[in-house]
Structure 1
């Protein structure tokens, strides 16, 4: 392991956990709403807010959470995890000292 790869391990470990969390809730939501007949009147999963304020009026509706937020979270976390994994394998180069 080179010194450049050491700086990739911490974000990789964090993103790996975040990716697993997003995939878990996405898959369990699909199972829940499929068994429920895709009735979005019942909320399922973690609370997600549309802003920085944790107030009930900013709480995402179940349908928006299922169709927008969860797939977006899965896509972004998966892309970043794969990017860091490819960087650790040496397939792609991450710019560590770009400004120097």
Structure 2
């Protein structure tokens, strides 16, 4: 492992962990709502906010969390994780010092 890749390994651990956590809760939400007849009157899973402020008015409703917020988080974290993995394996070459 070289020194120029240590940031990628740290990023993979952080983003990959958050990605796995998000997939875990989304799969559990699918199981919960499927067994519940897709009744979105009951909230399940971690609280997601549509703002950095953790004010109750920005809290995602269960249906919006299931169909919009969680899939968005999954797509973003999965894409970043795949990009980091491809960079670590050498498929994507980072341009370090391209301007020189």
TM-score (norm 2): 0.91
Confirm or deny that 1:84 pairs with 2:62. Answer: no
Question: How many residues in Structure 1 have an aligned counterpart in Structure 2?
Answer: 100
- 1:57 aligns with 57
Say which SS state the counterpart of residue 68 (structure 1) adopts.
helix
Find runs of 4+ consecutive structure 1 residues off by over 6 angstroms. none
- 1:47 aligns with 47
Q: Residues 76-100 of structure 1: CA distance to partner in whole angstroms, max 9, x if unpaired?
A: 1111101101111111012343455
TM-score (norm 1): 0.91
Q: Residues 41-92 of structure 1: CA distance to partner in whole angstroms, max 9, x if unpaired?
A: 0000101111121111111100000000111111111111011011111110
Unaligned runs of 5+ in 2: none
Confirm or deny that 1:24 pairs with 2:24. Answer: yes
CA distance in 1, matches of 2:18, 2:98: 27
CA distance in 2, matches of 1:51, 1:22: 18
